[in-house]
Amino acid sequence: MATTELFGTRSCPYTSELREWLELRRIAFTEYDVDSDAGARARLRELASGHRMVPVLVEDGRVTQVGWQGRGCALGD
């Protein structure tokens, strides 16, 4: 079974939009808030190869989407 992970922040409206899209399609996923979870933030940096934008969708350990419909929120350090 495929694993789907959503990396985002609570303050990013595009994270919310992507979450809603996944829920509407009944895709099971695990969500990580990279603002409050330092481990998730470090993993995102490793997976996304320097991308500094959320949301990021990861399927089976591979980044499949950065941003949502061409938009996203920049991450600070």
The reported pTM is 0.92
Are 63 and 57 in contact by the 8 Å Cβ rule? The answer is yes
Query: What whole-number distance in Å separates Cα of residue 67 and Cα of residue 52?
Result: 10
pLDDT for 3: 93
Give tens-digit pLDDT for 5-36.
999 999 999 999 999 999 999 999 999 999 99
Q: Nearest Cα to 5, choosing from 13, 34, 38, 49?
A: 34
Tokens matching residue 5: 């992970």
The dihedral of CA 10, 14, 17, 22: what is its sign? negative
Give tens-digit pLDDT for 33-62.
999 999 999 999 999 887 789 999 999 999
Domains (range + CATH), the chain: 4-74 (3.40.30.10)
